[in-house]
Chain A
Amino acid sequence: MSTATATPSEPTPPARAAAAPGPEEGGRFAVLSRVAQGELGSLRVLLGLVVIWTIFTLANDRFLTATNLVNLSLQIAATGMISIGVVLVLLLGEIDLSVAIVSGLCAAIMAVLVEQHGWAAAPGIAAAVAAGAAIGLFQGSVVTRFGIPSFVVTLAGLIGWQGVLLWVLGSTGTVNITNPAIVDLAGKFFTGATAWIIAAAVVALFALASLDARRRRLAAGLVAATPFVVAARIAAVALVSFGVVAVLDQDRGLPVALVILIAFVVVFDYIVRRTRFGRHVLAVGGNAEAARRAGIHVDRVRIMVFVLCSALAACGGILFASRLLAVNQSSGGSDLLLLAIAGPVIAGTSLFGGRGTVWSALLGGLVIGSISNGMDLLALPSSTKYMVTGGVLLAAVVVDAAARQRRLRSGRV
């Protein structure tokens, strides 16, 4: 059977024979398989979003107005921020049940420092994020050092940090936020030219990045996306960016909180997909033993992810405090934990680790936010809201599990 060896490795035979993994083959199949596996997932969510928006628009014509869409984006900003951290932890195949209460606790720390001890906004925010990172470092260390499931460790955190939150808030139990810089986070909007410049900058950045990636692939002699495809992608991003600004500008404008959220999503998406650390997170989530044998410091990666997750929870808590103009004993409570975890899962991030994107934090938040917002407009009772949200989450998890079973049947995990 050594006939194969007779073919010397001559530079790129023109034939498109199905033999060696020619780069040509690579390009075309990769697109197909990505549509089938990854991007179809996002597409599914977008379709779901269209359905949800259509239903609510038909039920109440105020749903798709600029005013309501501004409200919606403000509603999802904080939860979406927490969800970014949840995505990172889910990619590892772990879970963090303490994110919501950690967001409340860190917001409380910021509020007390700024409002009661006279700190400026920036150091106050930095202290809150640092506190979040420290909490993540602690929880991540316990998980890796003692090999306890993160579920249990963060469940203990969920209860314990609630106690710390009450202690930090003291006897009054509530701290109002008056610091203008913090209030502005969720209370300020980019309008007119500023908003359009931001949208243009986003499009320009995306265009530069795509063109650079294409140039590199061509320089390496690989097949890259055709100019038409690249142009189409850039056009799509431009359409969405300018579309969002055009709509939101009819009302109060582009919320600062939304811009912050999207900036965080873009940065963490880059970290997950394009950096060595992100690749290691995916490898550990896919097969921790394989990652260990490949020389990856698995525990270090795990701890780092818990640090990032809790720090992002702190950022989310700050946005929440800014929107509510207060931190109180119920901050980080109620259904925040459920929503922060449900969002990414609804948008296709697997609970089994290794599969998912940071964008699912934003998309999933949008789905859950839309359902909640729409039902509020229809004045439906909380009972219905909870039941519908629960049903959507269950459906999403079933889809995830079914996809996993298909993979198990067709090959291995």
Chain B
Amino acid sequence: MTATTSEPLLALHGVSKRFGAVQALDGVDFDVRAGEVVGLVGDNGAGKSTLVKVMSGIYLADEGEYRWEGAARRMTGPSDATELGVATVYQDLALCDNLDVVANLFVGREERSGGPARLLRSLDEASMEKQAAELLKTLTVKLPSVRQEVGTLSGGQRQSVAIARSLIGEAKVVLLDEPTAALGVAQTEQVLALIRRLREHGLGVVVISHNLANVFDVVDRILVLRLGRKAGTYAVGDTSQEEIVAAITGAEFGVGGNGSGSGGAAPAETAR
């Protein structure tokens, strides 16, 4: 499960972000390649969310470089990231429960059929429904109907719709914030399978998760953040969960952890 060794799609170099007295990120390097799933783990307040928000353009880094396909970019906001091809699936999913699956997949970028009066041009429902059905089929997302209201779907199905939506545009990198947080066992498996399929389709995927078991299940590489700094990157193949936990908590025997924190006594269950 090694990633293609090409130029990273998205790379951050020496990124720092400060909120008042809090140094949320301190010189963090990060990269994700096409066809690679990178896990982003760390304790609460380690800077995971801040890092993802820098990637999605919501936060602008105080220092550091944002590189896209090898070229340095100046970010000014979320729309820049969207234009590059970075799609973010937030933890709260941001779905419209009153609309059906097709409408949700295309919300904000609805297709219209031709016609003279621009404002009165009708939506091309047939085309959108066809694309939606095809997309969900390639991702093997199981839904009762693409015309079902999203509010009536299960948690896993909703998560799948939210992830699928990020692929309607020309996304190359998908950022997933706690994609399995509120899901049961079967639904979690469904979402993990979907993440694997994103990788097969050559996308770069970044997964933030508290659940190390899930992370180990699906990612190729793990980046551990601790107190705003990079505590290490680990290839999943040659790392144990204990090592990751140690890196997260800063315990003495961790490979990447240099023990700068005082987390040595932290219970191994912190990662939950």
Interface positions of A (Cβ within 8 A of B): 1-2, 4-5, 7, 9, 18-23, 25-26, 28-30, 33-34, 37, 213, 216-217, 219-222, 270-271, 274-277, 279, 282-283, 285-287, 289-291, 293-296, 353-355, 407, 410-413
Contacts and interface: CB of A to CB of B under 8 A. Distances in A.
Given A220-B127, A276-B112, A25 B145 contact: yes
A2 B196 contact: yes
B108 A296 contact: yes
Given A21-B145, A30-B145, A222 B98 contact: no
Given A29-B147, A216-B126, A293-B90, A287 B193 contact: no
A411 B157 CA distance: 11
B241 interface: no
Contacts of B126: 213, 216-217, 219-220, 222
Contacts, number: 159
Interface in B176-214: 189, 192-193, 196-197, 200
Contacts of A23: 129-130, 133
A282 B149 CA distance: 13
Contacts of B107: 279, 283, 290-291, 294, 296
A295 B107 CA distance: 9
A328 B206 CA distance: 66
Given A283-B96, A286-B96, A286-B97, A274 B129 contact: no
B233 interface: no
Contacts of A4: 140, 193
Interface stretch (B31-39, B42-50, B115-123, B245-253): B115-123
B146 A21 contact: yes
Given A19-B142, A279-B123, A293-B94, A5 B196 contact: yes
B79 interface: yes
Nearest to A29: B145
A293 B89 CA distance: 10
A21 B193 contact: no
B103 A279 contact: yes
A275 B124 CA distance: 9
B246 to A, nearest CB: 29
Interface residues of B, number: 56
B99 A286 contact: yes
A2 B197 CA distance: 9
A1 B193 CA distance: 7
A178 B140 CA distance: 68
B119 A277 contact: yes
Given A4-B193, A289-B94, 13 more contacts: A5-B196, A9-B138, A18-B142, A21-B137, A22-B133, A220-B127, A221-B130, A275-B119, A276-B112, A282-B99, A286-B99, A287-B96, A412-B158
B146 to A, nearest CB: 5
Interface of B: 79, 82, 90, 92-100, 103, 107-110, 112-113, 119-127, 129-130, 133-134, 136-138, 140-149, 151-154, 158, 189, 192-193, 196-197, 200
Contacts of B97: 286-287, 354, 407, 411-413
Contacts of A30: 100, 145, 147-148
Contacts of B119: 275, 277
B122 A274 contact: yes
Contacts of B79: 295
Contacts of B189: 1
A274 B123 contact: yes
B57 to A, nearest CB: 12
A287 B93 CA distance: 11
A357 to B, nearest CB: 12
18 contacts: A9-B134, A20-B136, A20-B140, A20-B141, A22-B133, A26-B146, A30-B148, A33-B148, A37-B149, A216-B125, A220-B130, A222-B130, A274-B122, A275-B122, A282-B98, A287-B94, A293-B94, A295-B79
B110 A279 contact: yes
Contact of A411 (B143, B145, B154): B154
Nearest to B152: A411
